[in-house]
Structure 1
């Protein structure tokens, strides 16, 4: 089992959030990687039920705040709904994934996640006003 370092970054390269994910396979598809990441972050939030949610995509019924998303107290996030939203966001190019400094092109693409691997999730911000 190895630890995969995951970075959430802006398009300019600023790191917004860093987390580590335990991976017990050397290769996964990009879709499986996104699914694992989302399940882990939702489980961590649902367990602590405090502070802001610093996830890949905004949960339904949440408000965007400086360091993530704020939900009503006692509100559990539905992991499957978050996975669906994240996979859809990837397909709509709202973020892209770099694994070992190489951009992943599709959800079915196999990526190597062995010892020392890194994954960067680069969130794209839509332009306002055209």
Structure 2
């Protein structure tokens, strides 16, 4: 089992400290990596504005499946880029090698409304 470090950045120069997530597989499709990240965020109730998940409205519950659909749609319309190491991933179905300690950067190009 390995660990992936997620880092969020913005085109304005903001950068999160990052947070780790355990990944059992050595390779995953980007689509699955995004899904797991969102489900982890929801499970830990850490849906902050700087993350992919949007906070629930006034005590409501966050639906991780809906959040995943919104994030995948945002990726499809270039709402954010994903960098694994120094390489940009452009296809949601691309298999990504995830050796121990891989840094995955989510670079937000615009505000992720709905995702």
TM-score normalized with structure 1 length: 0.76
How far has the Cα of 1:15 moved from its partner?
0.9
How far has the Cα of 1:17 moved from its partner?
5.1
- Aligned-residue CA RMSD (Å): 1.8
Q: Which of 72, 78, 85 pairs up with 1:87?
A: 72
String of CA shifts for 1:75-128, please: whole Å, max 9, x gaps: 2100100010011111110001001110001101111111121100000126xx
Instruction: Give the secondary structure class of the aligned counterpart of 1:15.
Output: coil
Take 1:33 and 1:75, find their aligned partners in 2: how far apart are those partners? 25
In the alignment, structure 1 segments of 5+ residues that lack a partner are 46-51, 63-70
In the alignment, structure 2 segments of 5+ residues that lack a partner are none
Matched positions, count: 109
Alignment-derived partner of residue 47 in structure 2 = 53
Considering only CA atoms, is the larger Rg found in Structure 1 or Structure 2?
Answer: 1
Take 1:94 and 1:117, find their aligned partners in 2: how far apart are those partners? 22
Take 2:99 and 2:28, find their aligned partners in 1: how far apart are those partners? 10
